[in-house]
Amino acid sequence: MNKKLRKRLFLILIGVIIIASAIVLVIIYHNHRSNYPISISIQKQLNFIPFITVPTSFDPVSQPYNINYDKPDQLLVYKLNFEGQSLVVSQQATPQSFNDIPDVYNQLIIKMRGGTTFSTPAGTVNITYPKEYNGLQTAVMDSDGVLMFTRPTKNLSTGQWQRLFNQFITLHE
């Protein structure tokens, strides 16, 4: 076989390998993405990358369920079960005013009667006690372009909140 023919066959082989690899990666990505608890149809409507929970053997938390997306309000809402309690999680893109005026988030926390603050891999969490919920807590986190509110059916300890928020990851991780 002459040198030109070998070179041409080698280039064709490399091209076939690259195309086959690309097809395999697309299939893997699609299957991986479709295994998330948030449907692809909802994912496509979001203008932010949401946080979801990842259960661990130490601190089991359910996968999100009853997932709804309110398109006019651009609000993702779902439920979780954690340590025997039901929680409602709502997420939206961080409002532009939070980026333009840094103190707006702090004013929100003050208005919601903020208490404990702690850090997790997902971001800084503020435990608040909104007047309209008669002392029932709401955890608030503004991280990675997502504003998230989490409300339990009854108050959690700081340790429980930390264990819960340690299990949140962004959907693209």
Read off the pLDDT band of 31 (50, 70, 90): very low
Which range has the worst mean pLDDT, 37-46, 51-60, 111-120, 126-135?
51-60
Nearest C-alpha neighbor of 77 from the set 64, 87, 68: 68
CA 104 to chain centre: 22
Residue 20: predicted pLDDT: 66
Residue 20: burial class (beta carbons within 10 Å; 0-12, 13-18, 19+)? exposed
Q: Give me the mean pLDDT over the 41-64 stretch.
A: 78
Residue 9: predicted pLDDT: 78
Sign (positive or negative) of CA dihedral 95, 134, 156, 109: positive
pLDDT for residue 58 is more than 50: yes
The 3-state DSSP class for residue 156 equals coil
Q: Give me the mean pLDDT over the 125-137 stretch.
A: 94
Identify the residue with better confidence: 35 or 15. 15
pLDDT for residue 136 is more than 80: yes
Please tell me the pTM assigned to this model: 0.76
Residue 32: predicted pLDDT: 43
Residue 56: burial class (beta carbons within 10 Å; 0-12, 13-18, 19+)? exposed
Question: How far apart (Å, rounded) are the C-alpha atoms in residues 101 and 82?
Answer: 34
Question: How far apart (Å, rounded) are the C-alpha atoms in residues 147 and 124?
Answer: 11
Pairing of strands 75-82, 85-93: antiparallel
The 3-state DSSP class for residue 48 equals coil
* Residue type present at position 79: K
* Residue type present at position 102: P
Which letter does DSSP use for residue 63 in this model? P
pLDDT, averaged across the chain: 85
Q: Give me the mean pLDDT over the 147-153 stretch.
A: 96
Read off the pLDDT band of 117 (50, 70, 90): very high
